[in-house]
Amino acid sequence: MAHPIAVSLLVLGLSVTPVLAAEQDPNTGFVIAPGWEIVRNNCIACHSASLVTQNSGDRAHWLSLIRWMQETQGLWQLDDSSENTILEYLSSYYGPKEGTRRPALRADQLPPNPYRPSKT
């Protein structure tokens, strides 16, 4: 037998699909899960959390972005444990999106930044 509230919602034309959303940090929007504080502490030191949460990719993609940031944007060297935690978190909670046109570009596939001063 259906739950009375669910029946009432259906009569009103409202969805009764359960929301299984993960808890999110109210300041960053990051999914609160193992490793999120390390991601927060390292990523938002240089850019907004939304730059992370709007992106997606597998472990190799996130690693390519880290390497690109280290080579071109001044990101510090991460110790192995922190890097592994960051990659595990990002690939698990911000992994490849289904139904997108194409996979995200790797960092080495991105065009040069036209706003970055040239080295002379």
Q: Band of the pLDDT at 108, cuts 50, 70, 90?
A: confident
Quick one: pLDDT at residue 109? 83
pLDDT digits (tens, 9 = 90+) for 21-30: 579 999 999 9
Quick one: pLDDT at residue 21? 59
Quick one: pLDDT at residue 116? 74
CATH number of the domain within which 51 lies: 1.10.760.10
Residue 31, SS3? strand
Q: Is residue 115 part of a domain?
A: no
Name which of 15-29, 79-93, 99-113 the model is least confident about. Answer: 15-29
Q: Is residue 117 part of a domain?
A: no
Cα-only R_g, the chain: 19
pTM across the whole model:
0.67
Q: Is residue 47 part of a domain?
A: yes
Q: Which residue has the higher pLDDT, 18 or 63?
A: 63
Q: Which domain holds residue 91?
A: 22-109
Q: Is residue 42 part of a domain?
A: yes
Q: Is residue 56 part of a domain?
A: yes
Residue 24, SS3? strand
Total number of domains in the chain: 1
Of 47, 61, 69, residue with least CA distance to 90? 61
The residues, ordered by sequence, that sit 6+ positions from 33 with a Cβ below 8 Å of its Cβ are 22, 89, 92, 93
Q: Are the beta carbons of 104 and 61 closer than 8 angstroms?
A: yes
Q: Is residue 119 part of a domain?
A: no
